[in-house]
Amino acid sequence: MTQASTQQKRTALITGASSGIGLEFAVILARQGFDLVLVARSRTSLAALAERLREEHAVRVDVFACDLSSTATADRLFHELLEQNITIDVLINDAGFAMQGPFVDNDESNLVDMLQVNIVALTQLTRAFLPGMVKRGHGRILNLASIGSFMPGPLMASYFASKAYVLSLSEALANELRGTGVTVTALCPGPTRTKFAQRARLSDTKAFRGTLMEASDVAREGFEAMMKGKTVLITGFKMRMQMFPTPLVPRRLLAMFARQYHETTGARGEGADAARRWTPAADEPQASQIAH
């Protein structure tokens, strides 16, 4: 996708667009002249963002309030866009959440919802929109992975595992799609200033007590990498330097380091109780079906 082609009216679909990195992607793409399809659970937040982007950048913005933890949502979203004759040229799979605490204490229902959003919905949306991109000979897909993709993550075991899947899938697809005009990018941020840590009960951990990247900087680096067709990007020069020796470190040591960064005094007891009580609906109004 050349600089000239970005000036044409093309459309980007962004999941998790109501806040954080997803919201910043929406701002960047609108500034670049892309029409947008914004997907998240909170209709109110999406509507406010859509109105702002329409006014500031004169782009079309369609809003879909839906819950990607439902197995049927991705398919319904794809077919609704198909019926409206909306072609997706850029897909940004940003939606996702985490759970902190020992795996044995994770609420099973919340765990399944997390895997559905982080893995299954991402895979479904990629599979749904990819054939059209290949047929047209152009397209960009960005999947939000994590520095956790590169290591085991005690006290966030399933989340780290889900992001390892995202990284592996993205790298494999990038290889398969060579020469098609379609690229896949895995964006791997470290701790970032968003609602992520609060929702995952990570605010008091070592990982989020240090210097955090801003969501706008993560999105900017991710957008540039995606448009260049880069396969993997760890955001931030400092984080790239810290992660550089990772392949040389025994994985049992990586697991030990990761645990230290995600431990809290309430990893059991109160922390585990909070993890069991929490659901995605506790933080944002939940849409049980697509609404726009």
Per-residue three-class SS string for 208-273: HCCCCEEHHHHHHHHHHHHHHCCCEEECCHHHHHHHCCHHHCCHHHHHHHHHHHHCCCCCCCHHHH
The answer to whether residue 165 is catalytic is: no
Residue 234 clears pLDDT 80, i.e. is over it? yes
CA–CA gap between residue 250 and residue 189 (Å, rounded): 22
| β-pair partners for 233 | 187
Residues 108-123 pLDDT 10s:
999 999 999 999 999 9
In this prediction, residue 166 carries a pLDDT of 98
The single residue listed with the structure tokens 């059991």 is 268
230 is catalytic: no
- Among residues 9, 135, 163, 228, the one annotated as catalytic is 163
Q: What is the pLDDT of residue 100?
A: 86
The predicted-structure confidence for 43-78, as pLDDT tens digits, reads as follows 999 999 999 999 999 999 999 999 999 999 999 999
**Secondary structure percentages of the chain, helix, strand, coil, to 5:** 50, 15, 35
Give me the catalytic one of 159, 165, 230, 261.
159
Q: Rounded to an integer, what distance in angstroms lies between the CA atom of residue 47 and that of residue 191?
A: 28
Q: Which CATH number fits domain 3-280: 1.20.120.530, 3.30.2350.10, 3.40.50.720, 3.10.400.10?
A: 3.40.50.720
The pLDDT value recorded for residue 213 is: 77
Lowest mean pLDDT among 103-112, 191-200, 278-287: 278-287
Task: Write down the residue that tokens 């008091």 correspond to.
Answer: 204
- List Cβ neighbours of 282 (8 Å cut-off, separation of 6 or more): none
- More confident site: 262 or 229: 229
| Phi, psi (deg, nearest 5) at residue 116 | -65, -45
